[in-house]
Amino acid sequence: MKSLGDALFPLTPALSPEGRGGAQVASGAAVPPAGPLLRVEEIGKRYGARIGCAEVSFDLWPGEVMGIVGESGSGKTTLLNCLAGQLAPDTGRVMFDTRERGMVDTVTMSEPERRMLGRTDWAFVHQHARDGLRMNVSAGGNVGERLMAVGARHYGQIRDRAEDWLGRVEIDADRMDDRPTAFSGGMQQRLQIARNLVTGPRLVFMDEPTGGLDVSVQARLLDLLRGLVREMGLSAIIVTHDLAVVRLLADRLMVMKDGHVVEQGLTDQVLDDPQHAYTQLLVSSVLQV
């Protein structure tokens, strides 16, 4: 645990502003062409007789952002929770490219190992900030928690890192010792993002990160997310109702209906030339507004 913490700690400040992970490979460094970061195979989850999601398969490559759209009840959250280890799927495998052992099925790995991933290489941004924050702990403490969880034991350094991250999500340093209860919804969501990204995760899961926010607040958050994704070369899976969100953030898009993936492809292709009747309806209903 300590050794992983030590290994992680120096990683994050060195995050290159060069852009997506894919670009690093292309730049001709001695990095071997890696396989997918995440390989999802035939994931299915039922709630009794009701289908949550079924037969979902896809690969996520390093540095790639996958958007998942679909109407309410189509299985987006169910799928995301299965992928992120928050819900046990009934069928299928979720292979993740771990640091130590390469591709490992996170569904069947031991719980300690999965929880370790959950606070190091994975991050989860909840729709409701209060589900992802400790509301009785200061903003600085919220950001510092993941650092302390992997062994950081120097108060001054933890504080510096927290301050740096609050700055990156546009929260004033003088709000650092305030609790999230004193923050607006948009600030809480930005704090949640900082808290998740501070350890330099390799894969971020987001469930409606802009949901429940005012339109102008949404726009600012989206801008910020886009900057972070580009700057850190984040790999991410983003669930949303909002096609504008995927247009801005996602390289690829998956459209879900009744628990099934009905169409997937490059975001622009899917949005500009939808093949499936349901996707056509989804796109037209939004774009005509």
Partner 1 sequence: MTDTAYNFAYLDEQTKRMIRRAILKGLAIPGYQVPFASREMPMPYGWGTGGVQVSAATLTPDDRLKVIDQGADDTTNAVSIRKFFERTAGVATTEATAEATVIQTRHRIPEVPLTEGQILVYQVPIPEPLRFLEPRETETRKMHALEEYGLMHVKLYEDIARHGQIATAYAYPVKVEGRYVMDPSPIPKFDNPKMSDCGAIQLFGAGREQRIYALPPWTQVVSLDFEDFPFEASKADAACDLCGAENSYLDEVITDDAGGRIFVCSDTDYCRSRREAGFVGAQGEEQVA
Residue 240 binding Mg ion, by CB under 5 A: no
Figure out which of the listed residues 15, 137, 219, 248 binds partner 1, where binding follows CB under 8 A.
137
Q: Does 156 bind partner 1 (CB under 8 A)?
A: yes
Task: Kindly state the DSSP code that residue 134 receives in the 8-state scheme.
Answer: -
Residue 149 partner contact from ligand ATP, partner 1, Mg ion, none using kind-dependent CB cut-offs of 5 to 8 Å:
partner 1
Rounded Cα distance, 138 and 21, in Å: 33
5 touches ligand ATP (CB under 6 A): no
* Burial degree of 53 (CB within 10 A; 0-12, 13-18, 19+): buried
Q: Does 77 bind Mg ion (CB under 5 A)?
A: yes
Query: Any contact of residue 44 with ligand ATP (CB under 6 A)?
Result: no
Could you tell me if 38 and 59 are in contact, meaning their C-beta atoms sit under 8 angstroms apart? yes
CA distance 266 to 92: 24
Residue 288 site contact among ligand ATP, partner 1, Mg ion, none (CB < 5 to 8 Å, cut-off depends on kind): none
Residues numbered 76-95 forming contacts with ligand ATP, rule: CB under 6 A: 76-78
User: For 25, how many CA atoms within 13 A lie in the half-sphere containing its CB?
Assistant: 13
Contact between 238 and 246 (Cβ < 8 Å): yes
Shortest distance, position 28 Cβ to partner 1, whole Å: 39
- Name the minimum Å distance from CB 153 to partner 1: 5
Closest distance to ligand ATP from the beta carbon of 48 (Å): 7
Q: Is 265 helix (H, G, I), strand (E, B) or coil?
A: strand
User: Which residue in 46, 119, 128, 230 binds partner 1 (CB under 8 A)?
Assistant: 119
Q: Nearest distance from residue 83's CB to partner 1, in Å? A: 21
**Under the criterion CB under 8 A, does residue 131 sit at the interface with partner 1?**
no
DSSP states of 47-112 as a string? ETTEEEEEEEEEEE-TT-EEEEEE-TTSSHHHHHHHHTTSS--SEEEEEEEETTTEEEETTTS-HH
Site string for ligand ATP, 56-75 (x = CB under 6 A): --------------x-xxxx
Binding site for ligand ATP (CB under 6 A): 47, 50, 52, 70, 72-78, 241
